[in-house]
Chains A and B, each alone.
Chain A
Amino acid sequence: MRSGVMTPTALESLVLLLRDRGYRVVGPQVRDGTIVYDELASTAALPRGWRDVQAPGRAGLERRDDDALFGYAVGASGWKRELFPPRQRLWEAVSDGDASFHVVEAPEPDQPLAFLGVRPCELAAIGIQDRVFLHGLAEDRVYAGHRRGLLLVAVECHAPAATCFCTSIGTGPGLDVDADGVRAAGSAAHATTPAPAVPDLVLTELLDGEHRLLVRAATDEGDDLLAALEHREATTGDLAARAATLEAAQAAIDRHLEVDGLHDLLLGNLAHPRWDDVAARCLACTNCTLVCPTCFCSTTEDTTDLTGEHAYHERRWDSCFTLEFTHTGPASVRTSTRSRYRQWLTHKLATWVDQFDTTGCVGCGRCIAWCPVGIDLTEEVAAIRATDGREVTA
């Protein structure tokens, strides 16, 4: 597989090449005071010279003192809105008169996707959603349609935010590429660490001296792309610069989620008073679940039009924080916010492992930053750990 060093100009060639090959290129850009992922026509739209400043319940941007293109941590919402769209019509039924009707299936996506700027934690999130949507009991047609042919250009993280904790989960901040494949670099893997989705290209932005990008191909498709892009051999200086960049990123992450024994800790503390405490602060607004790059819940809605000649079957994102989510038979099962927050956290960090063999959290910190009242799951877990009630309740 090829590797080398390219200039930011060559990155523009990559975007143009992908667009020429028919991809809808999606990448980071500044909008409404934050970083979002949306269709990218050119690298001119990348968030050049911006860093994101995140804290519990706060997310903003500030100017960097350099021209970094990837000098932020993660976008406001992940890539999931491309692969698992917020709303999707699954089919429409059209009356043919009398009692007969025919079904019109939703069209398949007509354009392959290319993501530019996927962080290591986000590759892990895509890996998790692949497990859920592609390798479960049945393949999800919508997800598979977008995922098939997806091209991934990953960028190692050199600017983690204060809400990041990928090093606790083992999902970042870097990526190692070798003959065995691709894995997270810069943190230790645990038994429950999710494997990253395999990227086609892995970039490392180097800001010491000349602004350049170390690039490594990880698939044949990535190798083919790199062959078409202007690049030079990487020097030992470039490799040392990457190592220093990763080390600095790793050192900048000080938020911690203790993973050791987490499954049994949470499931052994279902009656912990901390659940009442967090429920008093929680708005049950669903933001944490909808910004989470791994949360995959949806509901289906059936409607008809005024004429009664058309019926629509649509899927939309749902959340375990709504009442309707557990509406079974005559009523909702989880009526208290306590039960809903507890369901979310214990699923994300504990029963997810039973269900899918890995944790459901990748350490991206979105649920912390985008919670309007700044509830921090690492703090909630630490509070439960500090007053572990298993001995008392056992």
Chain B
Amino acid sequence: MSRPKLAVWKFASCDGCQLSLLSAEDELLTLAAEVHIAHFLEATREVAPGPYDVSLVEGSITTPADVERIQRVREISTTLVTIGACATAGGIQALRNLADVEAYRALVYAHPEYVQTLARSSAIAEHVPVDLELRGCPVEVPQLIEVVSALLAGRKPLIPTHAVCVECKLRGNVCVMVADGTPCLGPVTQAGCGARCPAFARGCYGCFGPMETPNPSALTDRLHAMGVDDPTLVRLFRTFNVDAPAFRTEARRREAIDAGADGRTP
């Protein structure tokens, strides 16, 4: 059997997820032996033509050209896996979805008419069917390797969708929220990072996006009772996964509470 052909694509992103693949130092040579890395501009200008068995797609859709290009990527890919918060939820650049992009464009560029951009930064799955989404900002190397290993073996990849809390407990971390009163998004965030931040006494900042059945309002109600004010709570949800539905909705809800719009005392 010939080696499967792998392609890596970039849309609006910082390249960090592609770099994660390159930083898989222990596995990189094995990976290159098991799959034909046919299109990976971050690594090499040598490109083999499609179609490709597996495409890893980094970045969000932010320009009219992106909208066209992702269709083409989908057409020439048997399996399409999005990698990272940009590709799966629009990324941190989806903060633009809350702002007036036209005003920004006019303010920032001398000739805004040269800049082709969309009003929203959107996830790949809003444009084409996606076979699997890998979360994280950036993605975790073990999850990347697991996905490729699973595809090679023809099995389901082991990508848990439960909360980060599970990983904290497996690792033996002491809960930073209970023991220190540190605001932590772990209970509403999908596992995958191995609970890295709580292991260093930091609250989870939600870079893996919402877990399978998130209940962010219960979390923010508690954090508010612990003394975290509404603007801080809104900001907690407006980072790398600002446009992931559960985080977007909760930020709006807290904003409404802060404005007194829901009739509650802010």
Q: Is the CB of A307 within 8 A of B34?
A: yes
Given contacts A283-B163, A323-B161, A31 and B152 within 8 Å (CB-CB): no
The answer to whether A280 touches B170, judged by C-beta atoms less than 8 angstroms apart, is no
**B186: Cβ under 8 A from any A Cβ:** yes
The answer to whether B174 touches A372 (Cβ under 8 A) is no
- Interface residue range, chain A: 35 or more
A59 to B175, CA, bound (A): 9
Q: Are B218 and A282 in contact (CB under 8 A)?
A: yes
Docked complex Cα distance between A118 and B160 (Å): 34
Q: Is B219's CB within 8 Å of the partner chain A?
A: yes
When the two chains form the complex, which single residue of B31, B186, B218 contacts A373, counting CB atoms closer than 8 Å? B218
Residue B166, interface by CB 8 Å: yes
**For window 161-185 of chain A, which residues contact chain B by CB distance below 8 Å?**
none
Asked if B149 and A305 sit within 8 Å, CB to CB, the answer is yes
Which of A32-40, A215-223, A344-352 forms part of the interface with chain B? Answer: A32-40
Shortest Cβ gap from A288 to chain B (Å)? 10
Q: A369: which B residues are within 8 A, CB to CB?
A: 178
Taking CB atoms, residues of chain A closer than 8 Å to B173 are 32
User: Which of the four size classes fits the interface of chain B?
Assistant: 35 or more
Decide if B172 is an interface residue (CB 8 Å cutoff). Answer: yes
Set A283, A291, A308: member contacting B152, Cβ < 8 A? A308
Complex-state Cα separation, A322 to B164, whole angstroms:
12
Q: Tell me the dominant secondary structure on chain B's binding face.
A: helix
A77 & B179 in contact (Cβ 8 Å cutoff): no
Question: Is the CB of B148 closer than 8 A to any CB of chain A?
Answer: yes
- When the two chains form their complex, are residues B172 and A77 in contact, meaning their CB atoms are under 8 A apart? yes
Rounded to whole Å, the gap between the CB of B203 and the closest CB of chain A is: 11
A112 within 8 A of B: no
Bound Cα distance A258, B59 (Å) = 55
Q: Complex Cα distance A36/B173, Å?
A: 10
Q: Does A8 contact B (CB under 8 A)?
A: no
A286 partner, pick from B161, B169, B188, beta carbons under 8 A: B169
> How many A-B pairs with Cβ below 8 Å?
133
Chain B residues near A307: list those with CB within 8 A: 30, 34
Residue of A nearest to B219 (CB): A283
For the complex formed, measure the closest distance between the CB of B54 and the CB atoms of chain A, giving whole angstroms: 13
Which chain B residues (29-70) contact chain A, with CB distance < 8 Å? 30-31, 34
- Is A57 within 8 A of B178, CB to CB? yes
* CB neighbours of B219 from chain A (8 A): 283, 372-373
Asked if A11 is at the interface of the complex by the 8 Å CB criterion, the answer is no
Residue A385 at the chain B interface, CB threshold 8 Å:
no
Q: Is A304 an interface residue (CB 8 A)?
A: yes
Q: Quick one: which of B155, B179, B188 contacts A32, CB cutoff 8 A? A: B179
Partner of A282, one of B27, B166, B212, B215: B215
Contact call B215/A317, Cβ cutoff below 8 A: no
Instruction: Among B158, B186, B212, point to the contact of A301 (Cβ < 8 A).
Output: B158
Any chain A CB within 8 A of the CB of B187? yes
Q: List residues of chain B with CB within 8 A of the CB of A49.
A: none
Give per-residue flags for A45-77: 1 if the beta carbon is below 8 A from chain B beta carbons, else 0.
000000000000111100000000000000011
A34 and B184 contact, CB distance less than 8 A: no
Write the A282-308 contact mask toward B (1 if CB under 8 angstroms, else 0): 111111001100000000011111111
| CB contact between A322 and one of B30, B155, B166, B179 (< 8 Å): that residue | B166
The CA of A303 and the CA of B150, in the complex, are separated in Å by: 8
Select from chain A the residue with minimum beta-carbon distance to B157. Answer: A303
Q: Decide yes or no whether B108 CB sits under 8 A from chain A.
A: no
A75-97: CB near B (< 8 Å → 1, else 0) gives: 01100010000110000000000
Interface string of B143-165 (1 = CB under 8 A from A): 00110111011010010111101
**Please, how many angstroms separate the alpha-carbon atoms of A287 and B163 in the complex?**
10
Give a binary string over B246-264; 1 marks a CB under 8 Å from any A CB, 0 the rest: 0000000000000000000
B155 near A304 with CB under 8 A, answer yes
How distant is B201 from chain A, measured CB to nearest CB, in Å? 7
Known: A301-B158, A304-B149. A76 touches B30 (CB 8 A): no
Tell me whether B30 and A87 are in contact (CB under 8 A): no
Known: A286-B166, A324-B162, A372-B219. A304 touches B150 (CB 8 A): yes
* CB-defined contacts of B212 to chain A, threshold 8 Å: 322-323
Q: Is the CB of A59 within 8 A of B179?
A: yes
Residue of B nearest to A303 (CB): B158
**Is residue A316 contacting chain B, with contact meaning CB distance below 8 A?**
yes
Q: Does A211 contact B (CB under 8 A)?
A: no
In the complex, what residue of chain B is closest to A57 when comparing beta carbons? Answer: B178
Given A287-B169, A290-B166, A307-B30, decide whether A373 and B213 contact each other with a Cβ distance below 8 A.
no
Shortest Cβ distance from residue B196 to the other chain A in the assembled complex, whole angstroms: 15
Chain A residues lying within 8 Å of B158, measured Cβ to Cβ, are 301-303
The answer on a CB contact under 8 Å between A77 and B162 is no
Task: List, in ascending order, chain A residues with CB within 8 A of B152's CB.
Answer: 304, 306, 308
Q: By the criterion CB–CB under 8 Å, are B178 and A285 in contact?
A: no
Whether A304 pairs with B30 at a CB distance below 8 angstroms is no
Q: Would you call B169 and A283 a contact (CB within 8 A)?
A: no
A288 to B175, CA, bound (A): 12
Once bound together, how far apart are the Cα atoms of A329 and B171, in whole Å? Answer: 30
Partner-B contacts on A (CB < 8 A)? 31-34, 36, 57-60, 76-77, 81, 86-87, 280-287, 290-291, 301-308, 316-317, 319, 321-324, 335, 337, 369-374
Task: Identify 7 residue pairs between A and B in the complex whose beta-carbon atoms are under 8 Å apart, listed by A's number.
Answer: A33-B179, A284-B215, A290-B166, A302-B155, A317-B166, A323-B162, A373-B218
The list of the 7 closest CB pairs from A to B, nearest first, reads A290-B169, A285-B187, A32-B174, A283-B187, A285-B165, A322-B162, A86-B170
